[in-house]
Amino acid sequence: MNQLELTKILQTAFAEDIGMGDLTSESIFTETQQSKGVYTAKADGVVAGLETIRVGYQLLDSSSKTTLHKKDGDFVEKGEKIAEAEASVRTLLTGERVILNLIQHLSGIATATHQVIRLLDDPKITVTDTRKTLPGLRIFQKYAVRCGGAKNHRFRLDDGVMIKDNHIKAAGNIKSAIESVRARCGHMVKIEVETENKEQVLEAIEAKADVIMLDNCSPEEVKELASIIPEGIVIEVSGGITPKNIAGYRNCGANVISLGWLTHSVRALDISFNLV
Catalytic residues: 97, 132, 164, 194, 215
Helices (H), 125-247: 138-147, 165-171, 174-184, 198-206, 219-226
Query: Which residues does residue 31 pair with via DSSP β-bridges, in sequence order?
Result: none
Residue 254 near residue 236 (C-beta atoms within 8 A):
yes
Query: Which residues does residue 267 pair with via DSSP β-bridges, in sequence order?
Result: none
Eight-class DSSP state of 12:
H
Provide CB contacts within 8 A for 10, sequence distance 6+: 52, 55, 56, 59, 98, 102
In one-letter notation, the amino acid at residue 179 is E
d(CA 35, CA 143): 31
d(CA 181, CA 189): 9
